[in-house]
Copies of this chain bind each other. A is one copy, B any other.
């Protein structure tokens, strides 16, 4: 991993408002609150894969992926890297860290060529103190993360390898994928074969065989550093 290189970038308020609209929490804010939030946002660009928060840090901020992705990377007791599926564009994450004074249990890693928005936890808490109706909306965001983590736990416990590969695609569709403008009905996930194999906790060869099986079924399309997902096959 290359040294932490970040540069702050400029994004227009109109653009930022579109990003804020991706969360029900901000949708429930009045224009005065939105102006306050706009004054607190910082946007960063990362040229290379960068650890943007270390496991010893206190989180205390929410992040939004504009471009690229955010990865949660834990290191298990036996020194193995445990990588969760990447959080893809147009998603807000980290709500729980704004109400938790404990240190993170994992690193947050931004992928190369990513643009990430940051809002400090103090701003979120200030908003909630002023407008307590936001709390249940934040809880709804946390619930969503919680359920995904439950799915992930079920996923890693699955015995059948083909069921695991299939469930992985469903999880990626939820947290990593972006709709494709030029291919309606398909989602794109930027992910390497190596990472797909590590999510599956399998060798690249075995993982590849499973994914090629799903490709033959028409569920996915495997590309270079990406996979495409056919939404017609989701929720079947």
Contacts and interface: CB of A to CB of B under 8 A. Distances in A.
A214 to B, nearest CB: 14
Contacts of A151: 105
A143 B96 contact: yes
A136 interface: yes
B132 A76 contact: no
B159 A156 contact: no
A185 B107 CA distance: 34
B143 A76 contact: no
Interface of A: 74, 76-78, 80, 82, 84, 96, 99-100, 102, 105-106, 125, 128-129, 132, 135-136, 138-140, 142-143, 145-147, 149-154, 156-160, 163, 166-167, 201
Contacts of A102: 143, 147
Given A74-B154, A142-B142, 7 more contacts: A77-B166, A100-B140, A125-B136, A132-B132, A146-B149, A149-B150, A153-B156
B99 A136 contact: yes
Contacts of A128: 132, 135-136
Contact of A142 (B78, B106, B136, B139): B139
A215 to B, nearest CB: 19
A77 B171 CA distance: 13
Given A78-B159, A99-B136, A132-B135, A153 B143 contact: no
A78 B160 contact: yes
A109 B5 CA distance: 50
Contacts of A153: 82, 84, 149, 152-153, 156
